[in-house]
């Protein structure tokens, strides 16, 4: 659990530092670009990182995808980052969404954790939403060995942590979809 937490923390910090500046130019949207929707807010990938670590024959992969620039220009809701973790040694296919604790407790099961943070492009506060137990994500792997994750049927993410004062108007939960996170 400590190694998983350290990997997720390192990837998240790297993405927020490298992709969070207001002077960045967002990557134009196209059919292959990762995108996600949290409630009424739509976000497009500006940068991403994918890393894997193998221990005792189990490979955990973490994917972090974030916006750049104004992150959608949604006021306090501007900017977003999605963090995905799963045991990639289980291969491609359908994964059930669950908490990090459920995933770590069941390393032989296709369970995936997805977190979505909003408010990353502003300095007024941010909110982290966590994946539920239930719902599914599809995992594919391209010819370069890079994983791609999509959540096509909306799932409800629930508020987990608020930082820097949070976002006062943020709801306790939102519907979430994800396309081609990689």
User: According to the model, what pLDDT value does residue 17 have?
Assistant: 35
User: According to the model, what pLDDT value does residue 11 have?
Assistant: 41
User: According to the model, what pLDDT value does residue 26 have?
Assistant: 38
Which segments in the chain show pLDDT lower than 50?
Answer: 1-31
User: According to the model, what pLDDT value does residue 18 have?
Assistant: 36
- Residue with structure tokens 């969404």? 97
Contact 49, 77 (CB under 8 A): no
Residue-range domain boundaries for the chain: 2-18+34-181
- As a whole number of Å, the CA-based R_g of the chain is 15
User: According to the model, what pLDDT value does residue 162 have?
Assistant: 97
Spatial CB neighbours of 177, under 8 Å, sequence gap ≥ 6: 36, 37, 151, 152, 153, 154, 155
Contact 134, 96 (CB under 8 A): yes
User: According to the model, what pLDDT value does residue 158 have?
Assistant: 96
User: According to the model, what pLDDT value does residue 149 have?
Assistant: 98
Condensed to tens digits (0 to 9), the pLDDT of residues 102-139 reads: 999 999 999 999 999 999 999 999 999 998 778 999 99
Q: Please tell me the distance from the alpha carbon of residue 129 to that of residue 94, in angstroms, as a whole number.
A: 21
User: According to the model, what pLDDT value does residue 33 have?
Assistant: 86
User: According to the model, what pLDDT value does residue 133 have?
Assistant: 75
């Amino acid at each position: 659990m400590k190694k998983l937490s350290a990997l997720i923390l390192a990837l998240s910090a790297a993405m927020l530092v490298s992709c969070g500046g207001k002077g960045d130019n967002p990557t134009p949207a196209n059919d292959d670009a990762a995108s996600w929707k949290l409630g009424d807010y739509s976000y497009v990938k500006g940068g991403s990182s994918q890393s894997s670590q193998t221990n005792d024959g189990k490979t955990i992969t973490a994917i972090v995808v974030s916006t750049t620039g104004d992150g959608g220009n949604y006021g306090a809701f501007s900017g977003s980052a999605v963090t995905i973790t799963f045991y990639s040694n289980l291969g491609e296919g359908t994964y059930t969404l669950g908490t990090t604790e459920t995933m770590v407790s069941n390393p032989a099961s296709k369970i995936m954790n997805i977190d979505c943070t909003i408010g990353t492009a502003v300095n007024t506060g941010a909110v982290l939403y966590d994946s539920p137990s239930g719902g599914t994500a599809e995992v594919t792997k391209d010819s370069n060995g890079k994983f791609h994750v999509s959540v096509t049927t909306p799932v409800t993410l629930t508020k987990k942590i608020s930082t820097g004062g949070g976002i006062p108007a943020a709801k306790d939960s939102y519907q979430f979809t994800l396309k081609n996170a990689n």
